[in-house]
A and B are shown apart, each in its own frame.
Chain A
Amino acid sequence: MSTLVLLTMTGLGLGALYFLIASGLSLIFGLMDVLNFAHGALLSIGAYGTWWAASGNLPGAGPGGAGFVLAVLFGTAVGTAAAVLLELAVVRPLYTRPREQVLATVGVGLAVPALLSGIWGPDARTFPGPEALSGTFGLLGAQVPVNRLVLIAAAVVVLVALRLFLGRTRHGLVVRAGVEDRAMVTALGIDVRRAFTLVFAIGGCAAALGGALGGLYFGSVDPRQGTSLLIFAFVVVVTGGMGSVTGAAVASVVIGLVQQFANYYTAAGLGDLAVVVLLAALLLIRPRGLTGRLA
């Protein structure tokens, strides 16, 4: 029983991390038809930003309490800024060449981890975190690490915030409409390119937050972390339906759980394999994703 609980919570924590990456990826793809290969790099930037700040480099920030919150905010802000820069400087000039947009993000996705490993070395760095978050708590007889709960809570907050943004604000309305028919949005007199920058900012913010909290989950940061998570985020995006935030949330949970349970109960690594094969199978059965609609 306790193993079951631990596996479930770990799977949900992993799913939460996937959701933080995949939600932005899904919105960006839905609105702009750009599969952002640099999204993992944004996560890494958030992770390193937080690590840098929490290691005592940012005045006021530190590994504990309010200092850690500040470090997370700093990392998230840096990741968001990087995402905006990416959209404005790399993606936007290629507006009329969709395939080149994808290629350009591939280039950024290669360059950023290399730069990070150039600055801080290729090896994993221990991630500092508050005492309170490094412990465990009892749940139905299992000792569950607290950081799982932090990730799940963050993902729920992001999900609710995104749903409110999409459902209740004019910018959210523009994004939803743009996912359906970008040209018609411009034909209503709306500059849809501003929505592009916005979804990149939102996606970068969520991914960078994922990086900051993922540091807690993994206990360390390394330059390749984001890129290796990206493939599973792709699985989530396709499973959940391109452009659908709710779909991404459901798919994240499913993928996280399947992966954890399969890795534990069958050979190690088979869970990863199962998930990747699931992606191929899903695409073949339903090429447009499961829901295909934004909600």
Chain B
Amino acid sequence: MTEQPLLDVTDLRVLIGGRHILHGVGLDVAGHGVTALLGRNGAGKTTTVRGILGLVPRSGSVRLDGEETVALPTHALVRRGIGYAPEDRGVFAGLTVAENLRLAERRGAGEPAYALVHELFPELKQRARQLAGTLSGGQQQMVAIGRTLLNTNRLIIADEPTKGLAPKVVTEVAQVLERAAEAVPVLLVEQNLAVVRRLAAHCVVLADGRTAHRGPADELLGDAEAARRLLGVGHGPLTPHTAEADS
């Protein structure tokens, strides 16, 4: 990677309740394609993402396109062009689908791309007036991803977007992310290695709150021994994690 990374995180530390959750994570997201953030459960993937966004108190350096953002409050960083689909989807249950999307509209981030969102997720248009809390898990994930596609972003961060979804919906979500990544770089936290294999060019692996490995994704996934050591997956063919295994 010779070009300047879009997102450059160095020595990210997070301290919650007097305990270090992250001890200095480093990662970079290339200016195009999908970068996967991997690691076993509890390795600190979600905390890393929340630390980057400033949703938890953190120190270190987070550079977006060369600009240091670690001192910025979350909303100011997001306004610089980040779309975020959190681990629990972060959908507002008491708001309708349309209101959830309208809330995500940002001024100065281009005309809201409702055409694109509705083309990718026609269901969201049909269910515009339904309360988001009454949607299925897959539909809620569509709302979460739809919110990241509504604005013209520089980076999309998706935290386990396929978690707990039916196999058919997993494929659908992966397709959408693949298409989104053609226009905007994506930082993807993912347990489903089949999805990683399909989408990610680069990967960063965390272990115990530290960066344990960085490199091309296919290289890691092709090396069964390294994959087992870093990700805790079994010998033999890499079986994708199932929803049951995660929850």
Q: Do chains A and B touch in the complex (CB under 8 A)?
A: yes
Given contacts A173-B103, A190-B103, is CB(A184)–CB(B78) below 8 Å?
A: no
Asked if B95 and A176 make an inter-chain contact with CB atoms under 8 angstroms apart, the answer reads yes
Given contacts A174-B103, A176-B95, is CB(A189)–CB(B78) below 8 Å?
A: yes
Q: How many A-B residue pairs have CB under 8 A?
A: 62
Given contacts A176-B95, A177-B95, is CB(A187)–CB(B103) below 8 Å?
A: no
Across the interface, which residues of A come within 8 angstroms of B53, CB to CB?
187
Interface residues on B, range: 20 to 34
A80 to chain B, nearest CB (A): 25
Asked if A177 and B92 make an inter-chain contact with CB atoms under 8 angstroms apart, the answer reads yes
Across the interface, which residues of A come within 8 angstroms of B109, CB to CB?
189
Asked if A187 and B73 make an inter-chain contact with CB atoms under 8 angstroms apart, the answer reads no
For the complex, give the distance between the alpha carbons of A192 and B92 in Å.
Answer: 15
Q: A188 at the A/B interface (Cβ < 8 Å)?
A: yes
Within 8 A of A (CB), among B60-85: 73-76, 78-79, 82, 84
Across the interface, which residues of A come within 8 angstroms of B75, CB to CB?
186-192
Q: A293 at the A/B interface (Cβ < 8 Å)?
A: yes
Query: Max chain A CB contacts within 10 Å: which of B53, B75, B79, B86?
Result: B75
Q: B58 at the A/B interface (Cβ < 8 Å)?
A: no
Q: B228 at the A/B interface (Cβ < 8 Å)?
A: no
Given contacts A176-B95, A180-B92, A294-B94, is CB(A187)–CB(B102) below 8 Å?
A: no
B35 to chain A, nearest CB (A): 19
Which residue from chain B places its CB closest to the CB of A292 in the assembled complex? B94
Which residue from chain A places its CB closest to the CB of B89 in the assembled complex? A184
Q: B194 at the A/B interface (Cβ < 8 Å)?
A: no
Asked if A180 and B94 make an inter-chain contact with CB atoms under 8 angstroms apart, the answer reads yes
Across the interface, which residues of A come within 8 angstroms of B213, CB to CB?
none
For the complex, give the distance between the alpha carbons of A179 and B92 in Å.
Answer: 10
Given contacts A174-B103, A177-B103, A190-B103, is CB(A184)–CB(B86) below 8 Å?
A: yes
Across the interface, which residues of A come within 8 angstroms of B104, CB to CB?
188
For the complex, give the distance between the alpha carbons of A189 and B81 in Å.
Answer: 9
Q: B183 at the A/B interface (Cβ < 8 Å)?
A: no
Asked if A185 and B78 make an inter-chain contact with CB atoms under 8 angstroms apart, the answer reads no
Q: What are 27 A-B pairs with beta-carbon distances under 8 A?
A: A170-B102, A173-B95, A173-B99, A176-B94, A176-B95, A177-B99, A179-B94, A181-B92, A183-B55, A183-B74, A184-B86, A184-B90, A186-B75, A187-B53, A187-B55, A187-B74, A187-B84, A187-B86, A187-B90, A188-B78, A188-B104, A188-B106, A189-B79, A189-B106, A190-B75, A191-B73, A192-B75
